């Protein structure tokens, strides 16, 4: 039987890594803010905002929803689009 870990146990184990990642994001945002020119209308920046909104909500499945924000929609003809040979 697989034992579910208590939330506090997970937080104890993950806190420093989460803290590090949040600091990395803060530093990247600071660098963007200090840079010259604007980027507010860049679709990549809008996706970052959407992803942050997902992180802040409590609906669960955050990793999957964030991945979908940054993923291309599935195209059945993707092999043709990228000029890849079909497997034999």
Domain boundaries, position 58: 7-81
Whether the predicted pLDDT of 1 surpasses 70: no
Asked if residue 13 belongs to a domain, the reply is: yes
Asked if residue 61 belongs to a domain, the reply is: yes
| pTM metric for this prediction | 0.75
Asked if residue 2 belongs to a domain, the reply is: no
Asked if residue 1 belongs to a domain, the reply is: no
For residue 38, what pLDDT is reported?
86
Asked if residue 86 belongs to a domain, the reply is: no
Q: What's the whole-number mean pLDDT along residues 45-72?
A: 96
Asked if residue 88 belongs to a domain, the reply is: no
Asked if residue 87 belongs to a domain, the reply is: no
For residue 78, what pLDDT is reported?
85
pLDDT tens digits, one per residue of 2-55: 667 799 999 999 999 999 999 999 999 999 999 998 888 999 999 999 999 999
How far apart CA 56 and CA 54 sit, in angstroms, is 5
Both tokens assigned to 88: 């034999």
Question: What domain count does the chain have?
Answer: 1
């Amino acid at each position: 039987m697989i034992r579910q870990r208590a939330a506090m146990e997970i937080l104890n184990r993950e806190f420093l890594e989460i803290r590090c990642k949040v600091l990395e994001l803060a530093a990247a945002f600071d660098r963007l803010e200090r840079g010259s020119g604007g980027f507010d209308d860049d679709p990549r920046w809008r996706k970052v905002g959407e992803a942050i909104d997902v992180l802040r909500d409590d609906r669960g499945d955050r990793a999957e929803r964030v991945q979908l924000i940054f993923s291309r929609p599935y195209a059945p003809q993707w092999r043709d689009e990228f000029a890849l040979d079909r497997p034999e």
